[in-house]
Amino acid sequence: MIPDKPRSSLLRIAISVALLAVFSFAVYYLVAYWLVSGRQTPPASTPPDTAASTEFRPEWCAQLVKRLPTVSREMCLNLGLQPTGAVSVKGFPILARDYAADGKRAEPLRVLLLGGIHGDEPTAAAVVFRWMEAIHLPIAHSMQWRVVPVVNPDGLFATPATRVNANGVDLNRNFESPNWEAEAPKYWQQRTKNDPRRYPGKAPLSEPESRWVHDEIERFQPHVVVSIHAPLGELDFDGPAEPPRRFGRLMYNRIGVYPGSLGNYGGGHKQIPVITIELENARQMPTDAETKRIWRDMVIWMSRNLQPGAASRAAN
């Protein structure tokens, strides 16, 4: 006869062995199930693929208008902007709108209109929204337009807003102008004293925003590029053709040629006329009358002074 104490000890040992066997079998079963079903590890969470979006999202307008003077959510929603498929460093879509010509010319003048290359110049984006409301007027009908009101959304959304993009690169020094590798870093170091607001980047077209503008010039083949900035209150011009004398209150004044600038790349290298409009204030919009005068003078000047055939030959 086995004493009571040893008998209870043996019983506890037997129960422990049985529980361990059941636990081991359960673990083995779960591991086998994961391996068979391809679920060895839970799927990692990934950010939404904004670039793949082909549908316009109203929340994009809600974000933009918070930073743009005189632009309402309703105005933004009614302009027909669409995602281009390109996104900023932080994933905000670069939005654009195409406007077809009236078909009365065999080859209409193609205009690429860009705003907001520098995020701390909100009027340079807002004025493009305002002009998009006027683009249906007869004065602009003979031209084919591609309009991109905000090239640098990350700079616009930064707090405070920044000239540079989310990588700290000045997009208007990141274009592929001749001898960029030698001239752009040298200019930044010696002339700007390493000013972080004018950092040209590590290489030309290193940024998704400048790369998209570059590629869009190749795709769209514009006869003229119009780039809006602030707050110098004047006009600049690069490329073939005589420069305009004035648009509204803004008078022509040769600002200069900078390594990696859009004017240097487009006007100097590609021989595509590039009009740079510098509004008078980066945060306060021009009056409605002045906004309309600048638009009207610009469109009339382009229609009278730029011919598609001549521009195409110059670009080639």
Helix H or strand E encompassing 252: strand 250-252
| Whole-structure pTM value | 0.82
What pLDDT does residue 125 have? 98
- The torsion angle over the Cα atoms of residues 82, 212, 222 and 258, rounded to 10 degrees, is 130
Q: How far apart are CA 85 and CA 245, in angstroms?
A: 37
Residue with tokens 């305002």: 130
Burial of 119 (0-12, 13-18, 19+ CB in 10 A): buried
* Cβ atoms of residues 51 and 87 within 8 Å: yes
Q: pLDDT tens digits, the chain, 316 residues: what are they?
A: 444 445 455 545 555 545 555 455 444 444 344 333 333 333 333 333 344 467 899 999 999 999 999 999 999 999 999 999 999 999 999 999 999 999 888 899 999 999 999 999 999 999 999 999 999 888 899 999 999 999 999 999 999 999 999 999 999 999 999 999 999 999 999 999 999 999 999 999 999 999 999 999 999 999 999 999 999 999 999 999 999 999 999 999 998 889 999 999 999 999 999 999 999 999 999 999 999 999 999 999 999 999 886 544 444 4
Q: How many CB atoms lie within 10 A of CB 209?
A: 29
Angle at 100 between CA 264 and CA 49, to 5 degrees: 70
What pLDDT does residue 263 have? 96
According to DSSP, the β-strands at 250-252 and 246-247 are: antiparallel
Edge to edge, what strands does the sheet with 274-278 contain? 82-87, 93-99, 143-148, 109-114, 224-229, 274-278, 234-238, 250-252, 246-247
Q: How many CB atoms lie within 10 A of CB 78?
A: 12
* Cβ atoms of residues 238 and 268 within 8 Å: yes
What pLDDT does residue 188 have? 97
What pLDDT does residue 16 have? 57
* Cβ atoms of residues 89 and 167 within 8 Å: yes
What pLDDT does residue 279 have? 98
What pLDDT does residue 86 have? 97
* Cβ atoms of residues 270 and 262 within 8 Å: no
b/e per residue 23-34 (b: at least 16 CB within 10 A): eeeeeeeeeeee
Ordered DSSP codes for 230-299? -SS-EEEEESSSPPPSEETTEEE------TT-HIIIIIIIS---EEEEE-S-SSSPPPHHHHHHHHHHHH
Alpha helices in the chain (DSSP H): 4-37, 58-65, 73-78, 122-134, 153-157, 180-186, 208-220, 262, 288-305, 308-315
Cα 83–chain centre separation: 10
Q: How far apart are CA 243 and CA 245, in angstroms?
A: 6
